């Protein structure tokens, strides 16, 4: 008896949280894969602490495996601990470094401002972390006729991201179950591409971009260059709402490349500002963890380049400096690229920039990531190009700035990447479960997998 269930990422306010259970009744044991918090459409709709508390039994849960440290995969870990979870938190080595950082931020925003309490929770989380190297089997438990081992493989999504292979055995039946987590696009900057699993009897796959394909890297780089050049000609600011982990670093990497390649008046004088303490912190961690970079990035370092800490890059930390920067840029119209969070404009420092800059047509807003329905980011993207408005902190702001989107800096695999991930498995899985995506994306991905014969395709609902 080996079963899979889902405690989130099918609908509602919670993010990814899947359970793999071995055995049944009093004998059962299980693990959780991720324990996330949803961001976007449902976020503001009654997502109170009681909604977020863990509403399923956890006495039999022996471990939590974390695929990567995005908040929609780890945000409910404090609630899991509060519910009495006592097992280890298994994750990749880079994730073990990043997890306390991201949760510290999440705790401050959504949980408490009490410093002592935050430190206690973080201390607890640190004591539970079990970093496991990529590609190495790790035994979670083996008792009587039940055993479970997990192995993490590179997912190419953000630093430390992994898909999880689980070897489960109950009596005579044994199975390899794979949880994809979020998969990265192949040929993304900085990180090696994910490789298909060597075996997956059952696969749980996330489908954020299940209905879309990305532009390829060269097209995207060219488009980024064109958007930036065009935007900067008239001396405005290019505002990039960016997520702290993943896209910010990919984008800095690409911009450093453009500066290096094209130089000249425009590129040589272009100023890049990262206005987010968290993004700056994760950029530092990315910089420190070069052994996890791909061959291309490692080569640049060997040539003496510094893809994530170049001369034209300024980091803003304090709130006072942030307010000064907003003010200064809104008045001076200096050619500048600002990366500020949050990525979907639902809060964070980007909101102050938007308020100050949306009304001026010399400015540009460049979206590089997924914008969930119901977020200001989605509204700006939808109504901006038609001369519409967006509501920020209960006030309307007319959008005169030009709005652009460059696909692919999304750190998510597109539809054909997901299809390639599945068709690369030597023997097709007998069951695929599609989770974590808009309904359209899930349905589109289902249709796409249906061409692979003999697979039972399930879209679970809670």
Structure token digits, residue 370: 């997924």
Q: Write down the least CB distance from residue 432 to Zn ion, Å.
A: 19
Output the CA–CA distances (angstroms, integers) from residue 34 to 11, 85, 167, 301, 370, in the order listed: 16, 13, 17, 33, 20
Of 9-17, 92-100, 181-189, 397-405, the window that binds Zn ion (rule: CB under 5 A) is 181-189
Judged by beta carbon, residue 243 or residue 267, the one nearer Zn ion is: 243
As a whole number of angstroms, the distance between CA 1 and CA 268 comes to 62
Closer to Zn ion by CB, 157 or 322: give it: 157
DSSP state of 37: B
Q: How far apart are CA 100 and CA 121, in angstroms?
A: 9
Choice between 95 and 352, CB closer to Zn ion: 95
Interface region with Zn ion, contact rule CB under 5 A, candidates 83-91, 179-187, 279-287, 354-362: 179-187
CB of 68 to Zn ion, least distance (A): 6
Region binding Zn ion by CB under 5 A among candidate stretches 89-97, 174-182, 350-358, 450-458: 174-182
Closest CB 350 distance from Zn ion, rounded Å: 19
At closest approach, how far in Å is the CB of 106 from Zn ion? Answer: 14
Task: Decide whether 23 or 407 has the Cβ nearer to Zn ion.
Answer: 407
- Candidate segments 180-188, 381-389, 400-408, 448-456, binder of Zn ion by CB under 5 A: 180-188
Considering beta carbons, is residue 37 or 259 the nearer one to Zn ion? 37
80 - beta bridge partners? none
The answer to whether 81 and 190 are in contact (CB under 8 A) is no
Question: Considering only 38-46, 120-128, 175-183, 367-375, which stretch makes contact with Zn ion by CB under 5 A?
Answer: 175-183
d(CA 444, CA 462): 20
Q: Which is nearer to Zn ion, 23 or 184 (CB)?
A: 184
Q: Which residues of 152-180 are buried (b: 16+ CB within 10 A; e: fewer)?
A: bbbbbbbbbbbbbbbbbbbeeeebbbbbb
Nearer to Zn ion, 93 or 201 (CB): 93
Nearer to Zn ion, 180 or 352 (CB): 180
Residue 404 pairs in a beta bridge with 366
- The yes or no reply on residue 182 touching Zn ion (CB under 5 A) is yes
Please identify, using beta-carbon distances, which residue of 182 and 275 lies nearer to Zn ion.
182
Three-class secondary structure of residue 149 per DSSP = strand
Q: Which residue is nearest to Zn ion (CB)?
A: 70
Min. distance of Cβ 157 from Zn ion in angstroms?
6
Q: Shortest distance, CB of residue 165 to Zn ion, whole angstroms?
A: 19
Of 278, 283, 273, 277, the residue nearest 240 (C-alpha): 273
Q: How far is the CB of 156 from Zn ion (least distance, A)?
A: 11
Could you say which DSSP state residue 183 is in? P
- Annotate each residue in 51-70 with x if it binds Zn ion (CB under 5 A) or - if it does not, as one string: -------------------x
Give the contact letters, 338-377, x = binds to Zn ion (CB under 5 A), - = no.
Answer: ----------------------------------------
Cα torsion for 276, 279, 285, 291, to the nearest 10°? -150
Distance, in Å, from the CA atom of 108 to the CA atom of 435, rounded to the nearest integer, reads 29
Binding pattern to Zn ion, positions 69-88, x when CB under 5 A?
-x------------------
Nearer to Zn ion, 356 or 435 (CB): 435
Between 412 and 433, whose beta carbon lies closer to Zn ion? 412
Query: Considering only CA atoms, which of 211, 223, 240 is closest in space to residue 440?
Result: 211
Separation CA 2–CA 175 (nearest Å): 8
- Closest distance of CB 245 from Zn ion, Å: 8
By CB under 5 A, the count of residues binding Zn ion is 2
User: In whole angstroms, how close is the CB of 70 to Zn ion at the nearest point?
Assistant: 3
Q: How far is the CB of 188 from Zn ion (least distance, A)?
A: 13
Peptide bond into 342 cis (omega under 30): yes
The CA-based angle 209-343-386, given to 5 degrees, is: 80
Least distance CB 411 / Zn ion (angstroms): 7
The interaxial angle of helices 217-233 and 247-262, nearest 10 deg, is 70
CA separation, residue 404 to residues 297, 328, 378 (Å): 27, 23, 12
Residues that bind Zn ion in the complex, under the rule CB under 5 A: 70, 182
């Amino acid at each position: 008896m080996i079963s899979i269930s889902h405690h989130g990422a099918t609908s509602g306010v919670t993010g990814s949280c899947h359970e793999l259970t071995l055995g049944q009744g009093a004998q059962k044991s299980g693990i959780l894969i991720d324990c996330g918090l949803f961001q976007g459409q449902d976020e503001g709709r009654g997502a109170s602490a009681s909604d977020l508390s863990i509403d399923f039994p956890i006495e039999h849960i022996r471990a939590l495996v974390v695929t990567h440290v995005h908040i929609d995969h780890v945000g409910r870990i404090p609630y899991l601990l509060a519910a009495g979870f006592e097992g280890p938190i298994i994750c990749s080595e880079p994730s073990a470094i990043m997890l306390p950082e991201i949760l510290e931020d999440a705790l401050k925003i959504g949980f408490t401002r009490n410093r002592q309490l935050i430190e206690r929770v973080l201390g607890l989380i640190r004591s539970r972390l079990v970093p496991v190297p990529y590609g190495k089997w790790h035994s979670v438990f083996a008792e009587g006729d039940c055993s479970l081992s997990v192995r993490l493989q590179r997912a190419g999504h953000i630093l430390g991201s992994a898909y999880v292979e689980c070897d489960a055995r109950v009596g005579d039946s044994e199975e390899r179950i794979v949880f994809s987590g979020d998969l990265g696009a192949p040929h993304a900057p900085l990180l090696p591409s994910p490789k298909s699993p060597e075996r997956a009897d059952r696969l749980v796959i996330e489908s954020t971009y299940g209905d879309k394909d990305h532009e390829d890297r060269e097209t995207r780089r060219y488009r980024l260059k064109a958007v930036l050049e065009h935007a900067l000609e008239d001396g405005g600011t290019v505002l990039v709402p960016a997520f702290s982990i993943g896209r910010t670093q990919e984008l800095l990497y690409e911009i450093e490349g453009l500066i290096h390649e094209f130089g000249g008046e425009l590129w040589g004088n272009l100023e890049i500002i990262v206005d987010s303490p968290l993004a700056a912190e994760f950029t530092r961690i990315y910089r420190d963890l070069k052994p996890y970079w791909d061959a291309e990035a490692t080569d640049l370092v060997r040539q003496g380049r510094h893809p994530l800490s170049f001369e034209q890059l300024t980091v803003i930390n304090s709130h006072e400096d942030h307010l000064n920067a907003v003010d200064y840029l809104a008045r001076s119209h200096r050619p500048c690229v600002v990366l500020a969070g949050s990525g979907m404009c639902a809060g964070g420092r980007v909101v102050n920039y938007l308020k100050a800059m949306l009304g001026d047509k010399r400015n540009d807003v460049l979206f590089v990531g997924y914008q969930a329905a119901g977020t200001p980011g989605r509204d700006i993207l939808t109504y901006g190009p038609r001369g519409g408005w967006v509501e920020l902190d209960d006030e309307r702001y007319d959008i005169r700035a030009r709005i652009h989107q460059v696909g692919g800096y999304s750190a998510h695999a597109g539809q054909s990447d997901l299809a390639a991930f599945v068709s690369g498995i030597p023997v097709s899985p007998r069951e695929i479960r599609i989770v974590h995506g808009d309904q359209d994306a899930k349905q589109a991905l289902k249709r796409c997998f249906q061409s692979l014969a003999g697979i039972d395709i399930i879209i679970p609902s809670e």
